[in-house]
Structure 1
Amino acid sequence: MEADAIIIGAGACGLMCAVQAGYLGKKVILLERNHKPGAKILISGGGRCNYTNQWATPEQFISANPHFVKSAFTQWTVDDTINFFETYGIIGKEKTLGQLFPESKNATAVVEIFTSLCAEMGQEIRCNADAKEIAIIEDGFKVTYHVGDKAKTIAAPKLIVTSGGLPIPKMGATDFALKFARQHHLNIIETAPALVPLTITGKDEAWYSELSGNTIFCEVSTDEISFEENILFTHWGLSGPAILQISSYWRRGSIINIDLLPNQQILAHIETERSSNGKTLLSTLLNRFYAKKFTEALGKFLPLTKTVADLSKIDLELINNTIHFFKVKPAGDKGYDKAEVMRGGIDTNEISSKTMECKKIPGLYFGGECVDVTGWLGGYNFQWAWASGFVIAQGI
């Protein structure tokens, strides 16, 4: 036995677990298939790393068991995350909606905290180490991994799988955790890309494509939830923060509602304009709220050349429905290549919420993205990674 535990995956969860285990005097070895640790940390937030969210609570997480995260978030809070990074020189600055970014540093500095601490505490990170097989042995676990074309093995009493989910395959994402779980008859909640742009095809495709590059502040909603943030029109459909958020709740074949003028009433604006200047064109009025190009695009649906005084009751109903109840039926999403996280994963009923240990296989732990816990956009998934990594370290 070379260590107290083996960690497969040196991402956010695995790195936090290694450091926290080190604080407790436990020796771990991390196996990372990429040439350096923290690959997704390094690209997060455009390379600046939105490492947590001040508003994070269990309510911003999607899971078949929404109560599962409560224990981990009690054991490791947002304040714990903030204090941890402040201890090592990263001061958080809120950008928008509770997202914390390093005030004067970047994602590289976040990863360097963990690699430096691992080095100080003797926690070994073996990069270019691609885990292939896990054998359950009498006194623990034996992992076979490849370095280039050479096969190697390592054994330890405890095994922690934090190898992430399926998004961004070019950065080393694999289904290793899911395949291993299935081999041992652990239930998997159906997986899908989440926090992902949505595509539009068919007769409306050209309309969206012509608006590519335009952003609009909207309220985007399904029957169960809504988000107020920007949407971005693209050549293939819709993106932007509001769309990424709603994508985690969207299901193929369902409709998304977009309020193009949230917290205002277009009919009230029309009525006010009628009383002051009834000769104002509808297009002129709409240009006060939108870029000219978007107003012109709305001409596909609305009588832009009419004056506000000439708008009929039917016109007003059409305007209200178009502006406040704009319906979109996406054809699909941009897949794991463009998704920030994976929805679904290893069923939380297979795992202890207090320790993250697998109920059926003692000594085996799962954490981070491979578990059926998916956070909103904006630092929430990092908070889950840090919390689950901390919790695992306490039990190994």
Structure 2
Amino acid sequence: MVYDAVIIGGGACGLMCSAQAGLLGKRTLLLERNDKLGAKILISGGGRCNFTNLHTSPTNFISENPNFLHSVFSRWSVEDTLSFFRCYGGIIGEEKTLGQLFPKSNKAKDVVSMFSKLMYETHQDVWLQTEVRSVEKLDGGYSVHLLRQGVEERLHCSKLVIASGGLPVGKLGASDLALRVARHFGLSVVPTAPALVPLTITGKDADWYASLAGNSIFARVFNSKISFEENILFTHWGLSGPAILQISSYWRPGDTFTIDLLPKFRLEELIKTERSLGGKRTVGQLLQGYFTRKFVDALAKFIPVHVKIASLSKVDAKLIIDVVHRFPVKPAGDKGYDKAEVMRGGVSTTELNAGTLESKRYPGLYFGGEAVDITGWLGGFNFQWAWSSGHAIAQDL
């Protein structure tokens, strides 16, 4: 069989690329390392798949060149995604929070089934349990060295799409293939790191965090670059929850960030109001109107929770306000790729054509999805990038 392109990776980008190519009357061969397609899609959002976000724009992404996204998103928008899912899968998006859209059925398998059906109907071929070992340049194309169900093979193609994802979640077949291929061809790679990942705390405060494991608080987490208002979750090893995952993408080892534990209120005003009423309650009693008893007791390590409001000195009042609204955190590290949602960094956008994602130096070689230096926020943004990049590549095959 002669194919218009070979696609490496049966995740979101690879599936979209193959499906879109099929709709254009092209034939592709998709190579997938696992024994099924869309492994990461199936576990996303707790098996519900937050497949896009209504508020998607380049500002929701981290990259050395976020403007690169303008061209791709102009060719395939959130509206295009919604129309595509509705038309070919009968999948209706339902907003949960902050623009996050899930299938109304709450089943991620519906997304994978849609792509499998569409690829079957458009005669796209799929080889499962196929591990790509290396890629070489040939005159007029590329040679792919692979291990297919235990047997080594080589196949040649004129166009090759690398949609093999990034390094997170090794048990789902994560691979550094895209990075290895890029480096092998001398392409620039932006340094990679886990992103959207829980953060660890060690040292003198480690036991304090561990004692609060399981407690969740709505908070504002911020640094000099960015701010997020969502829940944080205390764990036995540090911090997790949506707001922490978000800020982790902007965190580097050695950095400190700040947590406003009470972002919807001004503690200074609450104390002032309490004083006007006589200030008979203690600091702890005041805070129990906003936090759990367990959390207030834990704050006793940092602030005088047993002092009555009426007796608070200016120094103590400032201390309490600073701790609640400007709680400093200096993580020791992160939980690594196995717990990360995505990878930060990847193949530099300077190496790729903004409209097609084809290599500027190697015609017929494309990179899409997580392999590229485009990292979205939590909440469906990374899926939208995968759909949009897969579509962009398919138009050029």
For 2:306, the equivalent position in structure 1 comes to 305
For 1:198, the equivalent position in structure 2 comes to 199
- The superposition leaves residues 52-101 of structure 1 with CA deviations (integer Å, 9 ceiling, x where unpaired) of 00000011000001101110000000000011111121001001100000
- The superposition leaves residues 34-58 of structure 1 with CA deviations (integer Å, 9 ceiling, x where unpaired) of 1101011000000000000000001
TM-score normalized by the length of structure 1: 0.99
For 1:225, the equivalent position in structure 2 comes to 226
> Do the aligned partners of 1:2 and 1:155 also contact (CA within 8 Å) in 2?
no
For 1:265-280, what aligned pairs fall within 5 Å after superposition? 265-280=266-281
- 1:104 aligned partner, one-letter code: S
The whole-number CA distance in structure 1 between the counterparts of 2:277 and 2:322 is 24
- The superposition leaves residues 200-235 of structure 1 with CA deviations (integer Å, 9 ceiling, x where unpaired) of 000000000000000000000011000000000000
Q: Which moved more, 1:269-278 or 1:114-123?
A: 269-278
For 2:377, the equivalent position in structure 1 comes to 376
For 1:141, the equivalent position in structure 2 comes to 142
> Do the aligned partners of 1:90 and 1:105 also contact (CA within 8 Å) in 2?
no
Secondary structure at the counterpart of residue 284 of structure 1: helix
For 2:256, the equivalent position in structure 1 comes to 255
The whole-number CA distance in structure 2 between the counterparts of 1:182 and 1:233 is 39
How far residue 172 of structure 1 moved from its aligned partner, in angstroms, is: 0.3
For 2:365, the equivalent position in structure 1 comes to 364
For 1:281, the equivalent position in structure 2 comes to 282
Pair 1:75 & 2:47 matched: no
The whole-number CA distance in structure 2 between the counterparts of 1:320 and 1:116 is 57
How far residue 296 of structure 1 moved from its aligned partner, in angstroms, is: 0.3
For 1:14, the equivalent position in structure 2 comes to 14
Note closer, same or farther for the CA distance 1:120–1:188 as it changes in structure 2 (3 Å cut): same
Secondary structure at the counterpart of residue 67 of structure 2: coil
For 2:31, the equivalent position in structure 1 comes to 31
For 1:340, the equivalent position in structure 2 comes to 341
Q: Which runs of 5+ in 2 are unaligned?
A: none
The whole-number CA distance in structure 2 between the counterparts of 1:321 and 1:52 is 37
Secondary structure at the counterpart of residue 170 of structure 1: helix
Secondary structure at the counterpart of residue 109 of structure 1: helix
The whole-number CA distance in structure 2 between the counterparts of 1:137 and 1:27 is 21
The whole-number CA distance in structure 1 between the counterparts of 2:152 and 2:278 is 79
For 1:34-183, what aligned pairs fall within 5 Å after superposition? 34-87=34-87, 88-183=89-184
For 1:209, the equivalent position in structure 2 comes to 210
The whole-number CA distance in structure 2 between the counterparts of 1:338 and 1:245 is 14
The whole-number CA distance in structure 2 between the counterparts of 1:356 and 1:278 is 64
- The superposition leaves residues 234-286 of structure 1 with CA deviations (integer Å, 9 ceiling, x where unpaired) of 00000000000000001110101000010311011011111113111111000
How far residue 142 of structure 1 moved from its aligned partner, in angstroms, is: 1.8
> Do the aligned partners of 1:178 and 1:346 also contact (CA within 8 Å) in 2?
yes
The whole-number CA distance in structure 2 between the counterparts of 1:281 and 1:14 is 59
- The superposition leaves residues 300-353 of structure 1 with CA deviations (integer Å, 9 ceiling, x where unpaired) of 011111100000000011011101100000000000000000000001000011
Q: Which runs of 5+ in 1 are unaligned?
A: none
Secondary structure at the counterpart of residue 67 of structure 1: helix
- 2:321 aligned partner, one-letter code: N
Q: Give the RMSD, CA atoms, in angstroms.
A: 0.8
For 2:317, the equivalent position in structure 1 comes to 316
How far residue 2 of structure 1 moved from its aligned partner, in angstroms, is: 2.4
- Report the number of matched residues: 396
> Do the aligned partners of 2:49 and 2:106 also contact (CA within 8 Å) in 1?
no
- The superposition leaves residues 118-149 of structure 1 with CA deviations (integer Å, 9 ceiling, x where unpaired) of 11111011100001121211221121210232
Secondary structure at the counterpart of residue 196 of structure 1: coil
